[in-house]
């Protein structure tokens, strides 16, 4: 029998009072039917079609992220703005980090997940259609901001497959989601690389048309294939504006302002301006201040904001596990975003300039991850634990990054081997951390909890993409002229010609290189080797930063709680409605 809610007399508003009452029912161990938790349920086409629609959504979202990243240098060169090219990718994470919690909270409050998903994907379709006509990097960035709206629905893309399947299957459900994402990580960059190889000017533009087709197909798939039954919430009786007031708009505004200012400041430092320049410092300081205000507001100003206080309650197996999972996904983002953004640059400079081969070499990470994610998911489901598989995954992941930090010019096999090791480990963190989050929080907050976690990943990706870029540019600015000048001088190039030689070599301008006074084939070859070494020593810092956080993640894994009891066959939000004869094992929530 279901547990009866136990009301508490207090001075809260009616909406909050009912919310608290429902929480007692949701958290009561007697609330679920024991037979339902012990017996494996039966599912039909309606559930599997919905799952397929969400796998397509995940595929499309990752294509939008990984495709442009693989040919970012070519995009920046074609639009004559390589200094701002990283923002094409960074804005996706910024939009996800700020809009994700709003979309997730609104989906819970208004019970409008399908409507929000369809609208978000439609906006991304518009953005993907705008991108191909870009004549400047800034139009492309704006187009990617629109694409980011669909990317911001990532929390729902993770939450829905888990809530429509049994809790015990959640590691496998997340493995399926991650397989779709990894297939996109393989095919998206390969498609972008192949198109760009054919034509550096039109190739990446055609890729955005391909992306537009995916967003259109995803919009239709969710509209046709996802039919969740209507569920009632404790806020149904409130007016539209009262419901809007339950969305943490203040917190989201502070987070957006803080992130935008901080990432802008870090991108200015070491690039357009020095780190001590007033423009750089003032922007960074104001951004940090806004982020501090956001933290204080979420702590003292509200109990039900982006960082809902109920998420952090319940002891080791609930609140503490959730908090550690958020931190783990933050660290995982630092690790994988560093690799995703800089490994193609490393490959292009050190091993091959063929855009298709640049992308193909990156598959040494992603293809092993496709297979390993199934193994990690099955292991977690079989033994009903996330802690040990997660620790082993981070060990492999960190080992690969440490190996990549040692790469030198002329070591292509080493780079592939360490990428493969990293990929084996990468298959574990995302699926198991998201599983841990969804098992350690009450179902009424599953979308909010998932949004909080994926937003932490997006925030880490956005911040550290800019930090890594700044660290790389600062080192390259020092190493490149120093190394090339030394090599050119040793090859007999006149000192007066060295500045022109460095400029022509760094820009890849072969025509200008041949016109440098006193240049010889030996000077060019030695200068090219010095340029490669400068890039290798500059990119190395990115992998060192990532590996440091990998070590911290390995340690944090051992503080996770035991989720064995919650990994049962209960389905939190089935989409198959039980008929009157009881033929369907599932029932509405």
Residue 295 in domain = yes
Instruction: Judge if 297 and 434 occupy the same domain.
Output: no
Closest CA to 468 of 146, 155, 69: 69
Distance of CA 240 to the CA centre of its chain: 32
Q: How far is CA 460 from the centre of its chain?
A: 9
Of residues 136 and 507, more confidently modeled: 136
With contact defined as beta carbons under 8 Å apart, do 420 and 369 qualify? no
3-class SS letters over 538-560: HHHHHHHHHHHHHHHHHHHHCCC
Backbone φ and ψ of 166, nearest 5°:
-60, 150
- HSE of 256, CA atoms in CB hemisphere, 13 A: 15
Q: Does residue 7 carry a pLDDT above 50? A: no
| 41-45, 219-223, 351-355, 410-414, range with the lowest pLDDT | 41-45
Alpha-carbon distance of 219 to 508, in angstroms, equals 42
pLDDT at 145 over 80: yes
CA gyration radius for the chain? 25
Give residues with Cβ within 8 angstroms of 304, minimum separation 6. Answer: 16, 246, 248, 310
Q: What's the whole-number mean pLDDT along residues 372-380?
A: 93
CB burial class (10 A; 0-12, 13-18, 19+) of residue 461? buried
Q: Which of 408, 397, 437 is nearest to 566 (CA)?
A: 437
Confirm whether 583 is domain-assigned: no
pLDDT at 580 over 60: no
| pLDDT at res. 227 | 85
Token output for 379: 């292991």
Average of pLDDT values for 505-514? 80
Angle at 252 between CA 246 and CA 255, to 5 degrees: 155
pLDDT of residue 2 exceeding 50: no
- Whether 66 and 118 map to the same domain: the answer is yes
Q: Which residue would you say has higher pLDDT here, 170 or 150?
A: 150
Is there a domain that residue 542 lies in? yes
Assess whether pLDDT exceeds 80 at residue 496.
Answer: yes
> Is 564 inside any structural domain?
no
How far apart are the C-alpha atoms of 263 and 284, rounded to whole Å?
A: 8
| Rounded Cα distance, 129 and 123, in Å | 10
How many CB atoms sit inside 10 A of residue 509's CB?
12
The confidence score (pLDDT) of residue 233 equals 66
pLDDT at 9: 37
Q: pLDDT grade, residue 127 (50/70/90)? A: very high
Say if residue 490 is in the same domain as residue 354. Answer: no
For the chain, the residue count is 589
Q: How many whole angstroms separate alpha carbon 202 and alpha carbon 195?
A: 8
Residue 401 or residue 302, greater confidence: 401
Contact (CB, 8 A) for 546 and 401 = yes
Count other C-beta atoms under 10 Å from residue 180's C-beta: 23
**pLDDT tens by residue, 230-277:** 766 666 677 777 778 778 888 888 988 888 888 788 777 766 677 788
We report the CATH number of the domain holding residue 172 as 1.20.1250.20
Residues 24 and 66 in one domain: no
pLDDT for the residue numbered 264:
80
CA distance 346 to 531: 12
Indicate whether 27 belongs to any domain. Answer: yes
Domain that holds residue 25: 1-31
Q: What rounded mean pLDDT belongs to the chain?
A: 84
Residue 330's contacts (CB-CB under 8 Å, 6 or more residues apart) are 456, 457, 459, 460
Mean pLDDT, residues 41-60 taken together = 89
Helix (H, G, I), strand (E, B) or coil at 197: helix
Residue with the larger pLDDT of the pair 518 and 64: 64
Residue 279: Cβ within 10 Å count: 14
Angle between helices 429-439 and 355-383 (to 10 degrees): 40
* 204, 36 Cβ separation under 8 angstroms: no
Q: What pLDDT, on the 0 to 100 scale, is given for residue 334?
A: 95
Neighbours of 30 (CB within 10 A): 11
Q: Confirm if 188 and 67 have CB atoms less than 8 A apart.
A: yes
In this structure, the answer to whether residues 159 and 72 fall within a common structural domain is: yes
pLDDT tens profile 385-399: 999 999 999 999 999
Residue 577's pLDDT is 61
CB 130 within 8 A of CB 136: no
Same domain, 516 and 378: no
**For residues 232-269, b (16+ Cβ closer than 10 Å) or e, as one string?**
ebbbeebeeeebeebbbebbbebbbbbbbbbbbbbbbb
Residue 219 shares a structural domain with residue 261: no
pLDDT band per the 50, 70, 90 thresholds, residue 39: low
Q: Within this chain, do residues 207 and 254 fall inside the same structural domain, yes or no?
A: no
Residue 451: name the closest of 90, 97, 146 by CA: 97
Distances (CA, A) of 247 to 119, 121, 307, 563: 18, 21, 12, 30
Residue 565 lies in a domain: no
The percentage of residues in the chain with a pLDDT greater than 90, rounded to a whole number, is 38
Let me know whether 441 and 318 are in one domain: yes
Question: Which residue(s) pair with 166 in the sheet?
Answer: 571
What's the rounded mean pLDDT across residues 346-356?
86
- The pLDDT value given to residue 128: 96
Q: Residue 296, exposed/middle/buried by CB under 10 A (0-12, 13-18, 19+)?
A: exposed
DSSP, collapsed to helix, strand or coil, labels residue 237 as: coil
**Could you tell me if 336 and 355 lie in one domain?**
yes
Same domain, 203 and 342: yes
Task: Say if 552 falls within a structural domain.
Answer: yes
- 397 with 417, same domain: the answer is yes
The number of domains in the chain is: 4
DSSP letter string over 339-383?
HHHHHHHHHHHHT---HHHHHHHHHHHHHHHHHHHHHHHHHHHHH
pLDDT greater than 70 at residue 401: yes
Q: Could you tell me if residue 573 is inside a domain? A: no
Statement: residue 24 has pLDDT above 70? no
pLDDT tens digits along 171-212: 988 999 989 999 998 899 889 988 988 888 889 999 999 999
């Amino acid at each position: 029998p279901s547990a009866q809610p136990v009301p508490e007399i207090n001075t809260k508003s009616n909406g909050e009072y009912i919310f608290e009452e429902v929480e007692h029912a949701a958290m009561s161990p007697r609330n679920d039917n024991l037979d339902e938790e012990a017996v494996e349920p039966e599912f039909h086409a309606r559930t599997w079609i919905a799952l397929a629609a969400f796998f397509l959504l995940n595929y499309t979202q990752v294509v939008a992220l990984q495709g442009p990243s693989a040919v970012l240098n070519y995009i920046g060169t074609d639009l004559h703005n390589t200094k701002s090219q990283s923002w094409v990718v960074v804005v996706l994470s910024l939009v996800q980090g700020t809009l994700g919690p709003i979309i997730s909270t609104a989906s819970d409050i208004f019970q409008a997940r399908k409507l929000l998903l369809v609208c978000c994907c439609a906006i991304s379709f518009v953005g993907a259609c705008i991108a191909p006509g870009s004549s400047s990097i800034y139009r492309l960035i704006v187009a990617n901001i629109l694409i980011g709206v669909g990317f911001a629905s990532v929390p729902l893309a993770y939450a829905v497959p888990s809530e429509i399947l049994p809790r015990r299957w959640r590691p496998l459900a997340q493995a399926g989601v991650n397989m779709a994402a990894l297939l996109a990580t393989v095919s998206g960059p390969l498609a972008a690389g192949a198109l760009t190889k054919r034509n550096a000017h039109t190739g990446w533009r055609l890729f955005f048309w391909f992306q537009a087709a995916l967003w259109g197909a995803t919009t239709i798939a969710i509209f046709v294939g996802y039919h969740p039954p209507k569920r009632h919430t404790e806020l149904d009786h409130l007016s539209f504006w009262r419901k809007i007031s339950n969305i943490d708009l203040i917190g989201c505004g502070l987070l957006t302002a803080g992130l935008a200012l901080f990432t802008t400041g870090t991108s200015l430092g070491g690039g357009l301006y020095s780190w001590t320049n007033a423009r750089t410092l003032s922007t960074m300081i104001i951004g940090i201040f806004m982020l501090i205000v956001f933290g204080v507001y979420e702590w003292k100003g509200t109990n039900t904001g982006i960082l809902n206080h109920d998420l952090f309650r319940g002891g080791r197996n609930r609140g503490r596990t959730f908090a550690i999972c958020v931190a783990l996904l933050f660290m995982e983002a630092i690790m994988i975003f560093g690799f995703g953004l800089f490994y193609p640059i490393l490959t292009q400079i050190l091993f091959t300039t063929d855009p298709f081969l640049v992308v193909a070499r990156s598959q040494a990470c992603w293809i092993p991850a496709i297979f390993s994610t199934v193994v990690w998911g099955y292991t977690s489901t079989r033994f009903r634990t996330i802690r040990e598989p997660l620790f082993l995954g981070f060990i492999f992941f960190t080992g690969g990054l440490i190996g990549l930090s040692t790469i030198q010019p002329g070591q292509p096999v080493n780079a592939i081997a360490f990428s493969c090791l990293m990929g084996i480990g990468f298959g574990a963190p995302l699926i198991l951390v998201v599983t841990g989050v969804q098992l350690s929080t009450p179902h009424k907050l599953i979308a909010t909890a998932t949004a909080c976690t994926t937003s932490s990943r997006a925030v880490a990706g956005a911040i550290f993409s800019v930090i890594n870029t700044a660290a790389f540019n600062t080192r390259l600015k020092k190493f490149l002229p120093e190394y090339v000048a030394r090599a050119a001088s040793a090859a007999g190039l006149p000192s007066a010609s060295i500045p022109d030689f460095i400029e022509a070599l760094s820009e890849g301008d072969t025509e200008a290189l041949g016109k440098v006074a006193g240049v010889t084939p030996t000077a060019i070859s030695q200068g090219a080797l010095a340029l490669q070494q400068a890039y290798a020593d500059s990119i190395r810092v990115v992998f060192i930063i990532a590996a440091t956080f990998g070590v911290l993640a390995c340690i944090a894994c051992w503080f996770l709680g035991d989720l064995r009891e919650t990994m049962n066959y209960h389905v939190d939000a089935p989409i198959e409605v039980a008929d009157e004869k009881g033929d369907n094992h599932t029932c509405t929530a």
